[in-house]
Amino acid sequence: MIQVEKLSYGFPAKDLYNEVSFTLKKGKHCAFIGSNGSGKSTLVDIIIHPDKYLYDGKIIKDESCRIGYASQFAVRDKEQECTVFEYLSERFVENQQATAAVCEEMASAEDVEPLFERYQALLDAFGAMDGDNYANNIRKQLYVAGMRELEETKLSQLSGGEYKLLQIMREMLLSQNLLVMDEPDVFLDFGNLNRLCRLINDYRGTLLVVTHNRYLLNHCFDMILHLENGEIQEYEGSFTEYSCSRLKEKLKLKLQSIEEQEEIERTEKMVDILRTRATILVNPVIGSAVNAKQTQLDRLYARQIKEPFIEIREPKIELRSGEAETGHTVLSIADYNVSFDESLLENINFELLAGEKVAVVGANGTGKTSLIRDILKNDHPSIHIDRNTSYACLSQLKGENIDETKTVYDIMENLGFETRESIREYLGKYCLEGDTLKQKAGQLSGGEKNLLQIAIVANTKTELLILDEPTSHLDLYAQMALEKAICDYKGAVLMVSHDFYLVANCADYVLLVENNTIRRMRTRSFRKMVYERYFDQKYLEIDKKKQKLEADITLAFKKNELRAVERLCSRLEAISAE
């Protein structure tokens, strides 16, 4: 369907790709993964809009290829007061109306030839998206997503997650050959994530999906494209199979590299010995032997195994805490209410003690972000942050914590860093490297912006962290690094999250937003509820074991304990087979 050959592209401040090649075959559901800032979204845009870019290489598309696109940003038109069914059928109705208008023109026109061509083009477009059956197809999509009861619901009454799913369904209904989605899972609650999973698996066309979501990766894809350090690795198979394969390949290359280095060292010593003899004895035979050995050594240098690009960039996140009394109340909320067109939260009461880590969890549109924003403003009569408690926050609202018109260097300089080198060294721990300092914050990827916010928060000593969807847009390795940092943090944490792994691994307890109120749950009870409502318990338990094994394998590689790597890889493969 699409073939990319030796594509190279970059910005003045950063090279993104170096002669990357891959093929996207018809019917494949492909996950596009890679570290934050590696250029995934840019490469997707180059494929969709190649005329906008000056790149080297080729992008070859089948003539029949029609590309649909679902953005990670779902912006709702507040004036649009149609129903769900009307929204999903809009483009079909527009086609029918345009066709009817052309027919009217043809009835009175003297020259019908151009009108007939337009009429035929509209019919072809309608047929390509199975227009004759659009009403049935819409109802089928709603049924697959578990949203059948929303058919006559107004758009304004939907949650943000439900609206995001509708955007995806709308593109799927147009029967594009290739549907591209950029992080479709961001901010989706557990229920909507499950709906998205069903929609993806039910889709019969070709998919290219940028995602860092572990659940989707393990359940929805039969091809992986991994972009790292300007290169692409292409793998046909599931993400689980790919994870095992790349670790085994890394071990194979490492062992091969060790053998090569040993041979190179032996040859280097032989060249030195022969050169020493040649300086003592004037003998043409020895001279020829030196040249022959040097030629052999040059060949060994040239064919050395390149360090595999699967060396993942993993940030080193360390959240520093100030000192607070044990059991001291750092945040209290009493009789809090919030409403817009209708009541969202009523009579909310809870206290957060020093050192406690609490997750606020609930469906999209239940008032969680409104609560967090009021806490951050700290001017609501129902909300009280202890005046001796220092706090920092991480926000998902554009431009709230970072001035996106400033360069990364200017932002960090304003925080008190004195030299460019100290900024470069500090941000290097967060995988914000190279010429990132010269870039404006608004030019960073979503994941890079989040890492920059985390780096800013980590530069302060606080007793309380308030985090709004802290793992959103982060790649898998940054997510795990942040989980560990939150677990190690000694202060109190209040976080809104739809990331099951973050909540299950880090929270002391959960505040569940449901039926306009908040109830406290033990993390164990929360896990059980999620298992019963959304996920398979065995899958989640196996996935946790896999994460632990992958972390152990990474550590064994760093220590160069290759026998341990081999043993752990075998265990990972056995667990993955379950």
DSSP state of 154: B
Residues 529 and 552 in one domain: no
Q: For 419-478, what is each residue's pLDDT tens digit?
A: 888 888 888 888 888 777 888 888 888 888 889 999 998 888 889 999 988 988 888 888
Domain identity same for 392 and 282: no
**DSSP structure class, residue 365:** T
Q: Does some domain include residue 317?
A: no
Q: Which positions ≥6 away from 363 have C-beta within 8 Å?
A: 159, 161, 189, 191, 192, 513, 514
Contact 113, 122 (CB under 8 A): no
On whether both 228 and 285 belong to a single domain, the answer is no
Asked whether 209 and 229 are in contact (CB, 8 A), the reply is no
Domain edge (last residue) among 220, 238, 256? 238
Domain boundary among 186, 203, 238: 238
Structural domain contains residue 460: yes
pLDDT digits (tens, 9 = 90+) for 121-151: 899 888 888 889 999 999 999 999 888 999 9
Domain count, the chain: 4
Together in a domain, 139 and 221: yes
Q: Are residues 365 and 476 in the same domain?
A: yes
Residue 400 has a pLDDT of 67
- Separation of alpha carbons 517 and 347, rounded Å: 7
> What is the rounded distance in angstroms from the CA atom of residue 43 to the CA atom of residue 9?
9
Residues pairing with 383 in the sheet: 333
pLDDT average, residue stretch 273-298: 76
pLDDT digits (tens, 9 = 90+) for 493-548: 999 988 888 898 899 999 998 888 888 999 989 888 888 887 777 777 788 788 88
pLDDT in tens, 374-398: 888 888 888 898 888 888 888 876 6
* Residues spanned by the domain of 296: 243-302
Task: Tell whether 571 is covered by a domain.
Answer: yes
Per-residue tokens: 185: 């899972």
Helices and strands counted in the chain (H then E):
18, 18
What's the CATH code of the domain at 461? 3.40.50.300
Answer yes or no: do 541 and 469 share one domain: no
Do 164 and 289 belong to one domain?
A: no
